[in-house]
Amino acid sequence: MIKEYRKKPVVIKAVQFTDDNKPECMIFLEGNFDNTLSYPNIKTLEGVMRIEPNEYIIKGVKGEFYPCKPDIFKLTYELVSNAS
């Protein structure tokens, strides 16, 4: 039988990657990146993925990282607070 489900509300941490905040993003990624290119490649559960300017870097509920396009991010998430 087909049923409908709602995604549970989960609070995540994220930072939008720009040319101006690359050092902040590298700290946020806790070493889970390859910084040999002009834009970092982040280590995700699905393998290494390139993070493009203005994409969000999301830290998931189990500490995993992944990129998210800005339009998808804005449709999916809303600001809860400014985390440190």
Instruction: Express each pLDDT in 41-51 by its tens digit.
Output: 898 889 889 99
pTM value is: 0.82
Query: Could you tell me which residue, 34 or 23, shows the higher pLDDT?
Result: 23
pLDDT, tens digit (0-9, with 9 covering 90-100), for 57-71: 999 989 999 999 999
Could you tell me the residue ranges of all domains in the chain?
13-76
pLDDT for position 84:
60
DSSP string, 10-71: ---EEEE--GGGHHHHHHHTTT-EE-SSSS-EEEETTEEEEPPTTPEEEE-TTS-EEEE-HH
